[in-house]
Structure formats: structure tokens, C-alpha cells
Structure 1
Amino acid sequence: MFRAFRGLGPAVARVPPVEALRAGLGAVFGLGVTGLLVLSPVADLNLGLYLVAPFGASSVLLFAVPNSPLAQPWSAIVGNMVAALVGVAVCLLVEPPVARVALAVGLAVAATMLCRAVHPPAGAVAMTVALSPEAVERLGFWFALAPVGVGTVTLVGLAAIYARLTGRRYPFRQFEAPNDRGTRDADPVARLGLTEAELSRILDRYRQSFNLGVEDLARLIGAAELQAAARQTGPAHAGDIMSRDLVTVRPDTRLAEVADLFRRHRFTSLPVVGPQDRFLGVIFQIHLITRAREDALRLDRGFAPALKRLLDRGRARPVRAEEIMSVAGPRATRATPVAALLPMMADGGVDAVPVLQRDRLVGIVTRTDLIAALARTSVRGS
């Protein structure tokens, strides 16, 4: 009995409040701008109010689940426009309202599936058109272009802009597209050895083509394999493999000294600490390179002169560690399993994870530490 009632509960994983707020603000932004640009001009046709429903449904997909195949530009734009065309045709041919609505929605579902443009709000578009004979009589098949097409294109464009501004990706990743570092290699977690056709067949076999894209499937499989591999490291924790004898810098340390430490110790990262070893951030070598490149572009000079100027000990106002350190990277405690550390560093985003006891830095797990731990596990396993 409990199992039966359990099936009635939420099927979606718990969403962080920040993500819910991000999606909600996106819908406000998208519908607000679209309403001003598209719905207001057709208010005299009594369409503005009706089109809020399908456009509102499109906003849920575009801003809340932008990775869904149903939310992609082709699905949204072509799906809504095809549904509008079907709705207009049915409205011109069928008089009884109930039959008109049912036929419009049913044919729209079939047409969008044949066009590979399934977009659930398209059903609401077809219904809206079927319920608006006066507007259809006035606009005819142009209804599909404006307001439906123009409104959907506007929403899609705003969704793409909003995703970029909030750190998301829309449209979703294409298989074998350049990774975040601009190379043709797939992200490490997506290097499966499976082709796009093979991944597509997996989606078709389990009837998930409407729910997941090929690239995202590759990333999920890779992440699952990585997690399974991490479990083989045994019960090791960050406290077991971390480096304890740390070289750190203060927030007011000059970058010239930071560069000297990188060169002397051959480190790729340096933690930044305050009084009583309170952790403040971390500097990676790439931060120095990035800052020098930004200065080179800003000052219209070469990279080498910009780097030399950045590290110049005689500068009147030297650049200090706190100006380039990262404060938003992953962190761990002594009890964090190695299985959790592996995905943190697998995608190349960070070279080291600081280990904290409350706010105090007690160690750091570098990529070298992690590789050594995995190597020991592999030797013991063989």
C-alpha cells in the first residue's frame, strides 16, 4: 500500500531554491518583454490574453528545463508555428467549436511529431487559434507568423540570452561540439567511445528521445561511470590523501611573489589565507595568464610585456593576490569521500580542492594527490 501511494509523490528531484528563483525570474523577463513587443500590438484582436497561456507554457520549458529536447529552438518555433497553421486550417473548415478544438489539437500533435518539433505548448497554440475565429478571419494563415511565430522567436532569443547571463546553456549541447575550452575533444566525462547513432538508439530503445539529448546522455553515462570508478577507491576520504604541509599566501601578497612560489615549488595552485589560516580563496596559474591577457588587450600591448608589467616589483600599485584569487570553487572537509572529489576535478575546471575545518584551511587535495590515491587502489586491486 505504501509503495502504491509513494508512486503519487513527486517524480522530480529536489530543486535548489536558487535554481527555482533563476527559472522564475527568467519567465518574468521572457514573458514581460514578449508581452510588450508581441502581445500588446494584437490586443485589439483579443489575442493578447489568450496567447499568454501557450507562451507561458513555453516559458516553463525554455527557462526551467532548457536542456529538454522539447524546449529547443526547432521544437519551440516550428512546433508552435505548425500548430498555428493547423489550427487556422481547421478553424476555416470546421464550424462546431468542440469538434474544431479537438481536431485542431489532435492534428497539431501529429503534425509536430512528423516535423520532429514536439513542443507541448503547441497544443495550447492550436486550441487558442481554434477558439479565435474572428482573429483567423482577419489574419488568415498570417496568424502563424505573427503573433505566434514572432512571439516564439522572441521568447527563444530571450531564453538564450538569459541562459548565458545566468551560467546555463541554451540551446543544449550538440554531440561532439567544441568543449568549454574551445577544443574538439569531448568533455572528459563524456568520452565514452560510443557514437552519436549508438546513443540515439539507446534513447529510442527506452523511449527517452523527448526527454534527453544525445550529448546530455553521454555526460550522464560518463558521470555514472566516473562515480562507479570512484567507489572502487574504497572508503578513503580527503583527510587520508590531502597535502598537509601547505605553502600559502596572504591576500596582500604581490603577484611577483606568487609567481616566484609557482616557479620554485612547481605548484599549479596556491591557497590564500587570512589570520589563523582562515581560507579566503585559491590562485591557479591560469589566473595569472588570464589577468595578463586582459591587461594586454586593455592596454593594447603584447602578452609578454603585459605579464612583465603585472609582475613588476617596482610598480607604484602592485597587483595583489586578493585581486585575482577564486573564491567560488569546490571545497571539502576531512570526511569528504574520494569518490566525491573525483568529479570535482575530472572536467578540468580546478586543479586542487581545499580541505577546510570550519573556515580554517587544514589541507589541500591536488590532482597529483588524487592520481596517486587512484594508482594505489589500482595496484592493490590487481
Structure 2
Amino acid sequence: MAAYFFGISGAPHMRGWHHLYPALPAFHGREQLRAGIGALIGISMCALIVSFGESYGASSLYLVAPLGATAVLVFCVPNSPLAQPWSAIVGNVTSALVALAAIQNVPAPWSAGIAVGGAITAMMFVRALHPPGGAVALLTALDPAPALKTGPLFAVMPIGLTTTALVLTAIVYNRVTGRVYPFRQPEPEEAHEPEQRLGLSTEQLGELLERFNQSANVGIADLGRLLAAAEAEAAQHRFDGTTCGDVMTTELVTVRLDTPLLEAAGLFRGHKIKSLPVVDSDMTLHGLVLQADLLAGFAGQDGPTALRQRSLRRSVSEVMRPAVRAVSHDLPVGALLNRLAAQGSEVVPVTQGRRLVGILTRSDIIGLLLQGAEDRLPE
């Protein structure tokens, strides 16, 4: 009977009970202890600053209750946009200023609503939405005497100073305990691990957040990380643990560092290949020569005679590119999908240690994708 009452039964008229269940998943490991100790340290640091200020006669410096809510955000959900330093500090300070203006110009009891509503609007306007800011505004309206006595300085001390102290403590504590705070901001000038961004630009990720009205809940960089992790997991299931070593081409045509360009050109022409790995006698990989690199090595000559004379003196070591995109033979092949599809790579060297053991091309991936295609065709 109890199970039926709490919605475990499949009865249609009782299925709505699951909407009342906890929305948060269970916290893993010692996260509860980590967050709790962080809040303890953070609020204690604020109390220490207040105590120090009082000893010097700073009567306007004291703790305010909304700091407890700020502590929940910066220590429990440090990846939330609502918990970031700008949101916390500017949000609380802005709310205090708006609330001060409300209690000075609007009579009670209307000042409370005006203070909270105005604070929310102002925080959104300056892109510093911080839920404890609403509590700052309400507290100021309900107990206006300290704010009226201190004046505009009330927004700086105690609100701004204590919030800043709490945020600084959170930055240090989260970093020390393995959490990223402040959260990752996108850097469009730099290409950080492009293969982990699904081929989506920062603008496109931002548009996704806007479309689903989630800009206040998750940052752009973290959304990219989550989507990339989901793609990698899906690819792992799709290819059933297939590694680069399982599908790579092992019949290799290679050159040495001192191989002349003309000889390399002959290998390209004779084997109909698109790349030449540059190795030494024990197959240690040094670089990669593409057809475009070879053409660039021949470019800029005065004529056929000068071309031949100069090319006889040049080797592939002068035109090769570093093999920075080489991958390990045991890397799941799904991890390369975005690089081959979206990043323009056509060939990826596969190594075991530093030794070249194979080459992975788009053709190898296409062949893998087509395996069993006949079985999937509709009859």
C-alpha cells in the first residue's frame, strides 16, 4: 500500500508522483564533506575579517545571512554561472545598492517587493545574476536601519568585502580540492583541443544554451566538455571497443630524414599515396610529408634546370611537418572521428611508444563504418 502511495506502482493516475522525488542525483565520493568543509572555512574567514575589523572600530563591518547562500553556490556548485566571482560579488553589491535606493524612496511594506524585484532586474542587466542577491535585497528592506546609517558604503562594507573574501576563499579551496573555480571561459583566439568540441564553435554552443534557456545553468566551455564526453562514449559503444591498431594500415611506405625530395616525389607517384612518414632505422617517427609539403619544397625555382639542381640538394627533413597528431595504437578509434571529419586531417600516424606501427586514414574509418552495412539495408 505504501509503495502504491509513493508512486512505485504503474497505475496511470499515480505516475505523477515521481515529479516530487529529489531532482539532484546522489553525490559521489566525499563531495558532501568537501563542500561542507569549504563552507565552514569560507564563512570562518569572513567572521575572522569581521572580528579583525571590529577590533579597529569598523562598526559597519559585520556578517549578513545571505553569505550562507553564497557559500552553498561557490562550494557546492562552483561550475554554475550563478556562482562565478562576477555573479557573486557584483550581484550582491548591486542588490544592496538597489535595496538601499528602495528603502530611501519607497515606504514600507512596498519597499520589500520593490527592493527584491529591482535587484533581480539590475543583476540580470549587469549579467551578475546571483540568487543570494535577492536575499541581500530582502534583508536590507526588512532591517533598513544599518543600511540607512551606513549609506552607499553599505554595498561595499559589509556586503562587498565579505562576499569578496568568501569568493577568494572558494577559489583557493576549490582548486586545492580538485574543482575548477572560476569555471572555464571560452577562448576563441586559441584552439584548445578542437577535437573535443564536436566541430561546434563557441557561438554555436552559446546558441544551444540560449535555445534551451540554459545560459544561467551551465557555461559554454563546460557544455562543450559534456557534449564531447557524450560523443566519445557513444563512439566507444558504436565501435565496440575497436582501437586504432585494429583498423590501421600496416603496409607502410616510409622515408628517412636524408631522403632526397626527388626520391620522395617518385614514391608518391609510384605508390599513389598521400603521405610519407619520416622515420629512422628503428621506425622511430620524426615527422610526416604530405604532397603539399613536397610541392612547397619545389616551389619558387627559376626553371626546370634550377629546380632539378636545387632539389638534388634538399631532403625531406627540410619540408616535413612534425608528427604532433600521432596517436597511440590502443586509442579507441571513435576518438578520432571528429578530427578526421571536422578538422581536415586526412592521415594520422599510429605509434606504439615512439615507433611507427601504422597509418590511419579517412578510408580506414569509412571502411569501418560500412562494415555490416549490407545487413542494415532495408529489404
Name the TM tier (shorter chain): 0.5 to 0.7
Q: Distance in 1 between matches of 2:51 and 2:216?
A: 29
* Pairs within 5 Å for 1:282-301: none
After superposition, what is the alpha-carbon deviation per residue over 1:11-47, rounded to whole angstroms, capped at 9, x for unaligned? 1222114111111111111011012213774799698
Structure 1 gaps, min length 5: 179-183, 242-263, 267-337, 347-364
- Which amino acid letter does the alignment assign opposite residue 380 of structure 1? Q
> Would the aligned equivalents of 2:197 and 2:228 in 1 still touch at CA under 8 Å?
yes
Query: Following superposition, which runs of at least 4 residues in structure 1 exceed 6 angstroms of deviation?
Result: 42-47
Where do residues 39-54 of structure 1 align in structure 2 (5 Å cutoff)? 41=53, 48=62, 51=64, 53-54=65-66
1:90 aligns with 2:110: no
Indicate if the aligned counterparts of 2:185 and 2:221 stay in contact, CA closer than 8 A.
yes
Deviation at 1:135, TM superposition (A): 0.9
Task: Give, in angstroms, the shift of residue 131 of structure 1.
Answer: 2.1
In the alignment, structure 2 segments of 5+ residues that lack a partner are 1-12, 247-281, 285-330, 339-351, 374-379
Map of 1:209 onto structure 2: 215
CA–CA separation in structure 2 for the residues paired with 1:177 and 1:171: 18
How does 1:1-382 map onto structure 2 within 5 Å? 1-38=13-50, 41=53, 48=62, 51=64, 53-96=65-108, 98-176=109-187, 184-187=190-193, 190-234=196-240, 378=369, 380=371
User: Aligned residues, how many?
Assistant: 258
Task: Report the secondary structure of 1:174's partner residue.
Answer: coil
Secondary structure at the aligned position of 1:118 is classed as coil
Q: Is the 8 A contact 2:196 2:225 kept in 1?
A: yes
Deviation of 1:138 after TM superposition, in Å, equals 1.5
Q: Quote the Cα distance in structure 2 between the aligned partners of 1:190 and 1:41.
A: 48
Deviations 1:57-98 (A, max 9, x none): 0011100100100011111111000000011111112232x3
Q: CA, structure 1 residues 217+102, in 2 after alignment: closer, same or farther (shift >3 Å)?
A: same
Relative to 1, partners in 2 of residues 1:111 and 1:202: Cα closer, same or farther, differing over 3 Å? Answer: same
Shift of 1:192: 2.1
What SS does the aligned partner of 1:85 have? helix
CA separation of 1:151/1:381 partners in 2, compared to 1, >3 Å: closer, same or farther?
A: farther
Task: Look up the equivalent residue of 1:107 and give its one-letter code.
Answer: G
- Partner-residue secondary structure (3-state), 1:7: helix
Range 5-14 or range 143-152, more displaced: 5-14
Query: What's the C-alpha RMSD, in Å, of the aligned pairs?
Result: 3.6
Q: Any idea what the Cα deviations from partners look like across 1:115-135, whole Å, max 9, x if unmatched?
A: 111000000011111123221
The 1:139/1:215 distance shift into structure 2, 3 A limit, reads same
- Would the aligned equivalents of 2:46 and 2:165 in 1 still touch at CA under 8 Å? yes
Is the contact between residue 61 and residue 71 of structure 1 (CA under 8 Å) also seen in structure 2? yes
Change (3 A) 1:188 1:39: farther
- Return the letter of the residue paired with 1:114: F
Amino acid at match of 2:105: L
Corresponding residue for residue 306 of structure 2:
none
Structure 2 CA distance for partners of 1:46 and 1:73, relative to 1, 3 Å = closer
The Cα of 1:162 is off from its aligned counterpart by 0.5
Q: Is the CA contact (8 Å cut-off) linking 2:239 and 2:334 kept in structure 1?
A: no
CA 1:114–1:130 in 2, change beyond 3 Å: closer, same or farther?
A: same
Residues 204-247 of structure 1, C-alpha deviation per residue, up to 9 Å, x if partnerless? 1100000010101111111111111111123x599xx9xxxxxx
Deviations 1:179-223 (A, max 9, x none): xxxxx4424663222221111111111000000101011111111
Q: 1:149 to 1:46 in 2, by over 3 A?
A: closer
Distance of aligned partners of 1:217 and 1:110 in 2 relative to their CA distance in 1, 3 Å threshold: same
Letter in 1 for 2:82: L
Structure 1 residues 74 and 44, CA gap change in structure 2 (3 angstroms): closer
Contact 1:45 1:135 in 2 (8 A): no
1:13 partner SS: coil
Relative to structure 1, the CA distance from residue 8 to residue 45 in structure 2 (aligned partners, 3 Å threshold; closer, same or farther) is: farther
**Aligned partners of 1:30, 1:55: CA distance in 2, in Å?**
10
Query: Over residues 161-192 of structure 1, what are the superposed CA-to-partner deviations in whole Å (9 max), with x where a residue is unaligned?
Result: 001111111110011389xxxxx442466322
Q: Which residue of 1 aligns with 2:262?
A: none
Q: Which residue of 2 aligns with 1:259?
A: none
Rounded Cα–Cα distance in structure 2 between residues aligned with 1:125 and 1:39? 21
Shift of the 63–187 alpha-carbon distance from structure 1 to 2, 3 Å rule, reads: farther
> What is the TM-score of this pair, normalised by structure 2?
0.59
Distance 1:34 1:190 in 2: 40
The TM-score, its normalising length taken from structure 1, stands at: 0.59
**Displacement after TM superposition at 1:265 (Å):** 12
Letter in 1 for 2:28: P
Percent identity between the aligned chains? Answer: 41
Q: 2: CA distance between counterparts of 1:58 and 1:39?
A: 20
| Cα distance in 2 between the residues matched to 1:128 and 1:47 | 16
User: Match of 2:160, SS?
Assistant: helix
